[in-house]
């Protein structure tokens, strides 16, 4: 028995509900992180280590939380982060997540490692839009893992473009899979149970049945992803994809500046939800680094942030420091696990309400009024 969806009033409530319904293996897949977990801990802790500097008596009765991503307006400055293998989380998989997003007008980035194919997911989007007379501002973007084979890489890009995805989020923090500790324990346990002694090769992202864009006709394991990608590859990628490109997984100011110099449309400061490099910086830390070492790129390209955002107030802090919008991952996955698309809708509402309340209490009525001086990051930066 899980609580009624209306009893979820904060993001962490969805995790508790999901934990009660998910098979152990699926929960480990979703909640897992790299090594001893310091990267995910930094993500969750750092938002709480900076404080607001609220202004009072500012006539804040009328709040506007709208924000655009590459010209696509949304009622919110957050989107649903790409997460693979949602079929292990809910039988409706990615289409079920999409239906919740469309009903609320939230943007979503679809993972290359999705259970369902890119076209099928887009079809569920089109159908839900139709039910709403195409009134939802939701747009789908595509998270792109570079296949080793160049021909396949190009083919996938074209397929995604034709399907109607509005931008390419190229994940650059996963040339190889990080050490997913909880998955390792599970694999070792399973191997012992069937009497196999050698270590099993770890499957892509989890050990679930994983499909690499089934439209491409194959499964993918970690070794099939390209560790060979370099900045030079951006030239041919640009030729094949004429829409916006975001590099997902930028973790220092030098690479942020490099991305700007290469003419990227956007960067996503992210450590993959703490699932890749051990002791990664939180996205908040990287954003602060950019403010120090290359502040000139802020406002010149779209800057996204993800990892550990669990409250509308966290979203506000990111925007104060220069983020265009933020990605939220696990809370939406947990909401999907426990309540399907209804949970996804509820999770949007929870974040949106916290955001709007936070804006009133901070003394602003629209997101473009947010400024760096509205937060105090000294505790984070001086420790
Ligand atoms: C991810 N993430 C991810 N990123 C990506 O580029 N491609 C992918 O297929 C996946 N898959 C995936 C699965 C699961 C279960 C999780 C939790 C995460 C990373 C994701 O896009 C995002 O960076 C983080 O999830 C953001 O952190 P929070 O909000 O989950 O703390």
Q: Are 101 and 356 in contact (CB under 8 A)?
A: no
In the block, residue with structure tokens 């149970």: 193
CA angle, residues 171, 176, 179, in degrees to nearest 5: 110
What interface predicted TM-score (ipTM) does this complex get? 1.00
173, 312, 329: which to mutate for ligand 1, most atoms within 8 A of CB? 329
- How far away, in angstroms, is 271 Cα from ligand 1 center? 9
What's the pLDDT at 44?
98
Q: Which parts of the chain sit beneath pLDDT 70?
A: 197-224
How high is the pLDDT of residue 202? Answer: 47
DSSP 180: B
pLDDT at res. 206: 39
Residue with tokens 């076209």: 119
Cα-to-chain-centroid distance, residue 110: 9
The predicted pLDDT at position 383 comes to: 76
Kindly state the helix (H) or strand (E) to which residue 4 belongs, with its residue range.
none
What lies within 8 Å, CB to CB, of 2 at 6+ separation is 17, 20, 21, 338
Are 172 and 249 a contacting pair, CB within 8 Å?
A: yes
What is the per-residue pLDDT for 197? Answer: 64
* Pocket probe mutation, ligand 1, options 174, 275, 307, max atoms within 8 Å of Cβ: 275
Q: What is the pTM of this model?
A: 0.95
């Amino acid at each position: 028995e899980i609580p009624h969806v209306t009893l979820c009033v904060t993001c962490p409530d969805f995790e508790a509900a999901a934990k009660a319904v998910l098979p152990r293996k699926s929960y480990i897949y979703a909640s897992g992180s790299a090594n001893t977990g310091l990267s995910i801990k930094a993500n969750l802790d750092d938002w709480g280590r900076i404080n607001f500097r609220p202004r009072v008596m500012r006539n804040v009765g009328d709040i506007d939380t709208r924000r655009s991503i590459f010209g696509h307006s949304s009622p919110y400055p957050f989107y649903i982060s790409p997460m693979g293998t949602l079929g292990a989380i809910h039988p409706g998989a990615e289409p079920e997540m999409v239906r919740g997003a469309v009903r609320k007008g939230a943007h979503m980035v679809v993972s290359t490692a999705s259970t369902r194919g890119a076209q099928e997911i887009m079809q569920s989007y089109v159908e839900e839009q139709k039910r709403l007379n195409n009134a939802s501002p939701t747009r789908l973007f595509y998270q792109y893992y570079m296949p080793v084979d160049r021909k396949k890489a190009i083919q996938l890009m074209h397929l995604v473009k034709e399907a109607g995805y509005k931008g390419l989020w190229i994940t650059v923090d996963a040339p190889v899979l990080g050490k997913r500790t909880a998955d390792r324990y599970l694999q070792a346990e399973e191997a012992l149970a069937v009497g196999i002694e050698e270590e099993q090769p770890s499957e892509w992202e989890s050990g679930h049945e994983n499909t690499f864009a089934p439209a491409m006709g194959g499964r993918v394991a970690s070794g099939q992803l390209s560790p060979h990608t370099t900045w030079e590859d951006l030239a041919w990628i640009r030729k094949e994809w004429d829409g916006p490109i975001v590099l997902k997984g930028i973790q220092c100011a030098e690479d942020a500046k490099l991305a700007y110099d290469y003419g990227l449309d956007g960067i996503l400061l992210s450590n993959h939800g703490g699932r890749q490099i051990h002791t990664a910086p939180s996205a908040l830390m990287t954003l602060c680094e950019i403010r120090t070492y290359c502040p000139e790129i802020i406002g010149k390209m779209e800057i996204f942030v993800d990892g550990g955002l669990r409250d509308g107030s966290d979203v506000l802090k990111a925007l104060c420091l220069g983020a265009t919008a933020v990605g939220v991952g696990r809370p939406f996955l947990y909401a999907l696990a426990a309540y399907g698309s209804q949970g996804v809708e509820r999770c949007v509402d929870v974040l949106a309400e916290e955001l709007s309340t936070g804006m009133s209490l901070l003394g602003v009525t629209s997101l473009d009024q947010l400024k760096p001086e509205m937060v105090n990051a000294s505790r984070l930066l001086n420790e």
